[in-house]
Amino acid sequence: MTGRPADDEPILRIDNLHKRFGQTEVLRGVSFDVHAGEVLCVIGPSGSGKSTLLRCINFLEEPTAGTIYVDGEMMGHRVEGGRLVGLRATELAMQRVHIGMVFQSFNLFGHLTALQNVIEAPIMVKKEPRAEVEKLATALLDRVGLAHKAHCYPAQLSGGQQQRVAIARALAMRPKLMLFDEPTSALDPEIVGEVLQVIQALAIDGTTMIVVTHEMGFAREVSHRVIFMDEGVIVESGPPNDVLVNPSHVRTRQFLARITAPVTRAGAEGTT
């Protein structure tokens, strides 16, 4: 899983990102790049700002300071006469089209079937013709192994199946970048594997993605780079074998020691 070009324009560039909620500063200057085809895993203790980081990238949370570029385009702002001007809601919505997001709690639309969940945004937001979208959606549901559940409502699906539909729904927008916010944390241990397999397959196919996860086995197997965050800053960043196996920082070592069992686990499938 190497051979990604390193010197080209990054898909995502984050520069000195800050986010403050009232008195608490959740992100305190985060900067990194993600290149096309790269798989980046973000790990760290809860409350370290991982989820906020993802939510700032697609402006579900507006950053307090710092800039984010997606495929060279600045998120949420535009330079006008040498000054930064906030984008209008409709413009910001169009920028979000390029970023797919998968949530910890799936958040499928409860009143729509699996297929309707997948085709909703391409038809309503991108105004693509229904027949084409349905073809793409059926193919995507097949890819996540749920073609036979296309006409089921979310309540009729297991957690793992719901999350796979949510992945198909995000992919249907053909995003340049996928964000996974703890995609398996709400799942029973025995079905974590089926979701991780789908994400791994996407990674192998060259999907650019950032995955916030507690699955250390998955991070080691699938990612090109791992970022360890604590208290709103990046403590350590590098290839998974460095960060996860021979971490250079004390805080990383302490964190990994606390969740040692998952690290020594063999693969991403979660076969325990």
| 93 forms part of the interface with other proteins (CB under 8 A) | yes
* Alpha-carbon gap, residue 225 to 218, rounded angstroms: 12
Between 103 and 255, whose beta carbon lies closer to other proteins?
A: 103
The site map against other proteins for 26-65 (x = CB under 8 A) is --------------------------------x-x-----
Q: Which stretch binds other proteins (CB under 8 A): 34-42, 112-120, 209-217, 252-260?
A: 112-120
Residues in a beta bridge with 177: 99
- If one asks whether residue 112 binds other proteins (CB under 8 A), the answer comes out as yes
Rule CB under 8 A: is residue 11 a binding residue for other proteins?
A: no
Q: Of these, 17, 34, 103, 268, which contacts other proteins (CB under 8 A)?
A: 103
List the beta bridge partners of residue 228.
43, 236
| Residue of the chain from 89, 127, 189, 258 that contacts other proteins (CB under 8 A) | 89
Strand order in the sheet with 24-34: 24-34, 12-21, 65-70, 73-74
Task: Quote the least distance from Cβ 168 to other proteins, whole Å.
Answer: 12
CB of 2 or CB of 90, closer to other proteins: 90
Alpha-carbon separation of residue 41 from 133, 179, 192, 199, 200 (angstroms): 30, 10, 16, 12, 12
Q: Which of 54, 59, 61 is nearest to 34 (CA)?
A: 54
Contact flag: residue 170 with other proteins (CB under 8 A): yes
> Is residue 199 within 8 Å of 217, Cβ to Cβ?
no
Give the C-alpha separation, 90 to 92, whole Å. 5
Specify the 3-state DSSP secondary structure of 172: coil
Q: Decide: is 149 part of the binding site for other proteins (CB under 8 A).
A: no
- Residue 97's nearest CA partner among 124, 67, 133 is 124
Give the pairing of strands 83-86 and 209-212: unpaired
- Residue 158 as a binder of other proteins (CB under 8 A): the answer is no
Q: Is 189 in the site for other proteins (CB under 8 A)?
A: no
Out of 36, 74, 87, 97, name the contact with other proteins by CB under 8 A. 97
Size of the site for other proteins (CB under 8 A): 33
Site of interaction with other proteins (CB under 8 A): 58, 60, 89-90, 93-94, 96-97, 99-101, 103, 105, 107-113, 120-121, 124-126, 153-156, 166, 169-170, 173
